């Protein structure tokens, strides 16, 4: 059977209207023991994800675990893009077992979820496998997650992928939301986030603009 190429995006690609983001336990106490990713890079990547979601209007749930008694406040990089947003503080390690989180997911009403947080093997595996079991589609932003060892993070990612979750990176998330540089209304937003959080890519944007007045697209 012949197939024809069409200039349209694949159904599994993310866009601002087809998913919700859940950012889980990006907190100091959780980061202290994280060894699979440098803490500065982790904060940067989490900030990129949060800024992208806020800028593109993606419904986002922010949640912490034992904020006042143990884990400390959510990273500023995650909180600041969502001024005034409710932060759901839990006792459960598995976010999905907190009824307030599920109520918010149901209120948003999107079957595709994107997860990021600490630690990968506990606070991301739990909701990922639980959501998959209930028929949700799950994406995990691997470099906005972290764990107590490289092995713990890798095993957790493997376990989720084997169950059907789809891995991606923070920069991939940002650029997938933009996807076309001809979308002028979000061009400055996307490149601004990339300049601030995009590492070498962001430096390249700064250089090209300063030296040649160049731009993407």
Residues 6+ apart with CB under 8 A from 88: 61, 62, 63, 64, 98, 100, 101, 104
Per-residue pLDDT of the chain (217 residues; tens, 9 = 90+): 889 999 999 999 999 999 999 999 999 999 999 999 999 999 999 999 999 999 999 999 999 999 999 999 999 999 999 999 999 999 999 999 999 999 999 999 999 999 999 999 999 999 999 999 999 999 999 999 999 999 999 999 999 999 999 999 999 999 999 999 999 999 999 999 999 999 999 999 999 889 988 888 7
- Go through the domains of the chain in sequence order and give each one's CATH number: 20-178 (3.40.50.850), 180-217 (no CATH)
Q: What Å distances lie between residue 174 and 8, 50, 189, CA to CA?
A: 19, 10, 10
The DSSP result for the chain, as a single string, is: ------SS--TTS--TTS-EEEEE---HHHHHT--SS-HHHHHHHHHHHHHHHHHHT--EEEEEESIIIII-PPPHHHHTTSTT--EEEES-SSGGGSHHHHHHHHHHT-SEEEEEEB-IIIIIHHHHHHHHHTT-EEEEEGGG-B-SSHHHHHHHHHHHHHHT-EEE-HHHHHHHHH--TT-GGGHHHHHHHHHHH-HHHHHHHHHHHHHH-----
Q: Which one is catalytic: 102, 123, 145, 155?
A: 123
155 is a catalytic site residue: no
Q: Which residues contact 7 (CB under 8 A, 6 or more apart)?
A: none
């Amino acid at each position: 059977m012949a197939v024809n190429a069409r200039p349209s995006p694949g159904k599994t690609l993310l866009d601002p209207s087809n998913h919700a983001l859940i950012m889980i336990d990006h907190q100091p106490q959780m980061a202290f023991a994280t060894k699979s990713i440098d803490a500065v890079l982790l904060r940067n990547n989490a900030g990129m994800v949060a800024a992208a979601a806020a800028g593109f209007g993606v419904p986002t749930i922010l949640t912490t675990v034992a904020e006042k008694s143990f884990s400390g406040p959510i990273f500023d990089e995650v909180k600041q893009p969502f001024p005034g947003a409710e932060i759901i503080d839990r006792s459960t390690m598995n976010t999905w077992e907190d009824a307030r989180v599920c109520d918010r997911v149901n209120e948003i009403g999107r079957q595709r979820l994107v997860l990021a947080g600490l630690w990968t093997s506990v606070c991301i595996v739990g909701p990922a496998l639980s959501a998959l079991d209930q028929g949700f589609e799950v994406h995990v932003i691997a470099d906005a997650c972290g764990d107590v060892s490289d092995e713990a993070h890798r095993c957790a990612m493997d376990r989720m992928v084997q169950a059907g979750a789809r891995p991606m990176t923070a920069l991939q998330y940002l650029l997938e939301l933009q996807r076309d540089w001809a979308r002028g209304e979000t061009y400055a937003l996307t490149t601004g986030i990339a300049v601030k959080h995009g590492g070498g890519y962001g430096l390249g944007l700064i250089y090209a603009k300063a030296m040649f007045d160049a731009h993407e697209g």
